[in-house]
Amino acid sequence: MTIHRAPPVDRHTSGLNHPHPSEITPQAEYAERRAWLARSGLAGAGLLAASALPGLMRSAQAQAPARPGKLAALAGSRSNVAGALVMEKPTAYTDATTYNNFYEFGTDKSDPARNAGKLITRPWSVAVEGEVKKPRSFDLDELLKLAPMEDRIYRLRCVEGWSMVIPWVGWSLAELIKKVEPTGNAKYVEFVTLADPKQMPFVGSRVLDWPYVEGLRLDEAMHPLTLLAFGMYGEVLPNQNGAPLRLAVPWKYGFKSAKSLVKIRFVEKQPPTAWVKAAAQEYGFYSNVNPNVDHPRWSQATERRIGEDGLFTRKRPTLMFNGYEAQVGQMYAGLDLKKNY
Ligand SMILES: Nc1nc2c(c(=O)[nH]1)N[C@H]1C(S)=C(S)[C@@H](COP(=O)(O)O)O[C@H]1N2
Ligand SMILES: [Mo]
């Protein structure tokens, strides 16, 4: 059944809510930012275009920050995948772990951090089924060893108009797909996430049709940038970020990157996804980040980078395919992106 509800609102542009903590930038964060600029040789260079500073940008090449030391370490090696390491400063860990969308735990940005603590993430297994020659279930421990862990630093652009830069740890979903051997009928991949009302207080609420389901075309799922992430900031994922494993599809709006996956199904037809079912005219199946296609209720031309909210901070221009056009653009050649939003 389709439930009509208010889709997510960017609480900042709508003025519905109190300011995000990082809008009142604490002293420590200013210091951290200044130190980072100094380290990377960018201090005082803020007015110069990044493109005019290739040398500096190389020296400023984003390094995963020191791990926060809150959870078990999860190390990856530097990824060789083209586009896998953006040269932008990673978002502060506190912001990335307290400003979340994970509606199973509530619809306020601060709800997941408050409510996801009790999620049991071990034992955990993921069923891989449908149009594959070798359907089977994978235990989390097996998945952790299935391919070498890589560090990737991706932009994350939420459809609501804000963005972050997250250092993930994981491996390309393609590694798993190759193991199960999709049949010729597999055209799409459906991702099903945990929906346990005992652990997730908002499953059962009418916010979405649970479980949260997402989907990709098979070629998108096979793209090397499509990451199965097990960690971030050098540690295992915090529950609120989708422990023990989630997708990170950097050229699409954040809601395509489903959290806490329990099932991956290969199918012939485009799967009905949670947000398309909730509001098809607002959230399309593709949901590629696109500054030229506005959401019906707001522009997508610019974005607020979380942690950059200073008195004089301008919004950033949103980049086509979130800046990954060179890597992914070809997959959409000939597709009308206004129709296939
Ligand atoms: N299962 C599930 N996955 C989800 C969501 C959700 O509500 N439930 N929210 C999505 C949205 S809208 C975004 S922007 C990202 C946010 O990921 P983050 O909280 O790790 O930044 O997760 C996505 N994955
Ligand atoms: Mo989002």
Residue 258 alpha carbon to ligand 1 centre in Å: 6
Tens of pLDDT, residues 187-201: 999 999 999 999 999
Give the rounded percent of residues in the chain with a pLDDT score beyond 70.
Answer: 81
Looking at residue 332, its pLDDT comes to 98
Looking at residue 9, its pLDDT comes to 53
Looking at residue 93, its pLDDT comes to 98
Nearest CA to ligand 1 atom 24: 258
**ω before 244 within 30° of 0 (cis)?**
yes
pTM of the predicted structure, to 2 decimals: 0.85
Confirm or reject: Cβ of 202 under 6 Å from ligand 1.
Answer: no
Residue 243 alpha carbon to ligand 1 centre in Å: 11
Q: Which region among 11-20, 47-56, 60-69, 77-86 has the lowest average model confidence (pLDDT)?
A: 11-20
118-133 average pLDDT score: 98
Looking at residue 55, its pLDDT comes to 43
Confirm or reject: Cβ of 261 under 6 Å from ligand 1.
Answer: no
* Alpha-carbon torsion (174, 177, 179, 183), positive or negative: negative
pLDDT of 119 above 80: yes
Looking at residue 293, its pLDDT comes to 98
CA atoms of 153 and 72, how far apart (whole Å)? 19
Looking at residue 65, its pLDDT comes to 73
Of residues 16 and 35, more confidence is placed in 35
80-90 average pLDDT score: 97
Atom in ligand 1 nearest the alpha carbon of residue 166: 21
pLDDT of 112 above 70: yes
Looking at residue 309, its pLDDT comes to 82
CA atoms of 171 and 62, how far apart (whole Å)? 19
Confirm or reject: Cβ of 275 under 6 Å from ligand 1.
Answer: no
Residue 56 alpha carbon to ligand 2 centre in Å: 32
Contact 275, 178 (CB under 8 A): no
Nearest CA to ligand 1 atom 5: 102
Give the rounded percent of residues in the chain with a pLDDT score beyond 90.
Answer: 78
Confirm or reject: Cβ of 239 under 6 Å from ligand 1.
Answer: no
Confirm or reject: Cβ of 210 under 6 Å from ligand 1.
Answer: no
Confirm or reject: Cβ of 254 under 6 Å from ligand 1.
Answer: yes
Nearest CA to ligand 1 atom 10: 255
The full set of domains in the chain, from first to last, is: 21-332 (3.90.420.10)
89-116 average pLDDT score: 98
Residue 255 alpha carbon to ligand 1 centre in Å: 5
pLDDT of 22 above 60: no
pLDDT of 123 above 90: yes
Identify each DSSP E strand in 173-284 by its residue range. Answer: 188-193, 213-217, 227-232, 235-236, 246-248, 261-267
Confirm or reject: Cβ of 161 under 6 Å from ligand 1.
Answer: no
Q: What is the mean pLDDT of the chain?
A: 87
Residue 254 alpha carbon to ligand 2 centre in Å: 4
Residue 100 alpha carbon to ligand 1 centre in Å: 7
DSSP class of residue 140 equals H
SS3 235: strand
CA atoms of 300 and 152, how far apart (whole Å)? 25
Confirm or reject: Cβ of 260 under 6 Å from ligand 1.
Answer: yes
- Our mutation pick for probing the ligand 1 site, out of 115, 259, 260, counting the most ligand atoms within 8 A of Cβ, is 259
Looking at residue 66, its pLDDT comes to 83
Q: Which of 27-31, 63-67, 229-233 has the highest mean pLDDT?
A: 229-233
Confirm or reject: Cβ of 104 under 6 Å from ligand 1.
Answer: yes
Q: Which region among 57-66, 129-138, 144-153, 188-197 has the lowest average model confidence (pLDDT)?
A: 57-66
